[in-house]
Chain A
């Protein structure tokens, strides 16, 4: 414990309340006295910790105050002219429209809409550089993360010849194709990973494979793969499918 007298002196130093001479003496003392140096650090930390703890409490209060408003502000804002009557009329029209589309069995379009809603590209891996092949792999990963899917595909396609069974390459090559909307080319690569029982990407592959099949309108296959996935949106998506 720091004695109160020392504590007050340290706090005065930290708050710049010492005279010029006192400050110089204090600083010289600190150079030779490790205990004093540690005590200064301790007093500084005490002040910081109190401030941060108080601010954390304030942030929790700020958040609580806006929590109820959040859901509505994060969804699409209504146009001011769109009053309730119009909203009901528009909803009815939309429902009728969707039903007609559904019943004339244009299922690919339905699947595609669900795909658009749920598809978020895999965030990719950390780009650590290693051997030449790893370098090419990670260079393509960088392109992928930047949204340059064509460049990423080119990079991984050049590696797939050498490592056709590598699940990382297959998974991300498929992901890149899917991210640019080319489900047909994505499917064979992701399917390889989904059927590889040892792959770490297997679970994510189920989800993306399901989404890829949704995109091309093959609902039964989509359902099969999505059901296997442990993605948090599975139930919600399946509900929308029927």
Chain B
């Protein structure tokens, strides 16, 4: 059922990049990046920002688009084109950033936020999960090169264990064990990261 929706989206928008995001096709993603960054950069520069701000905001927005496609949050009804979607997210992120700077100027606020404990707990759990996730992401940078490449092949390039085994001249079982070992190392690095903070 979902496959039908994807092709309807791709057909409707003629968006080859949708599939590229779905499949982590970096050649196509780079083209998408090159084609869309200048427009966002122009907007941010025209609104009190510089190229460095533009880079950060655009990359955050790019990751959001990627994540939403991966999680099937985007469908033909809500998004007209990926270009417009990315631009809109970038713009909103930049406006949020400006507002967060400007909000320091607010002088009178007569509303007190009512915190209910259940929501607060949920919020805390979400924050904690996000933190754990960030630690893993950060840990990846410090992983040995061999492990990084192996995990990239499996999780990002979506190669099967069999394909990896053939490439490295391993058995499939060795590929499986090595992948598991690399993930354990990643978890240890993330944990170390948490303790240091």
Contact = CB atoms under 8 A, between A and B. Distances in A.
A51 B24 contact: yes
Interface in B24-61: 24, 26, 29-30, 33-34, 37-38, 41-42, 45-48, 51, 55, 59
Interface of A is mostly: helix
B18 interface: no
A168 B108 CA distance: 10
Given A59-B59, A59-B62, A123 B137 contact: no
Contacts of B5: none
Contacts, number: 122
Interface in B56-102: 59, 62-63, 66-67, 70, 95, 98-99, 102
A55 B34 contact: no
Range class of the B interface residue count: 35 or more
B98 A130 contact: no
B116 interface: no
Range class of the A interface residue count: 35 or more
26 contacts: A4-B177, A4-B180, A7-B180, A45-B133, A46-B186, A49-B186, A51-B70, A53-B136, A53-B137, A54-B140, A55-B156, A56-B137, A59-B62, A62-B34, A63-B59, A65-B30, A66-B34, A66-B37, A74-B42, A120-B47, A124-B102, A125-B99, A125-B106, A130-B109, A134-B108, A168-B107
Cβ-closest 9 pairs across A and B: A49-B136, A53-B140, A54-B156, A50-B155, A130-B110, A62-B33, A123-B98, A53-B137, A49-B137
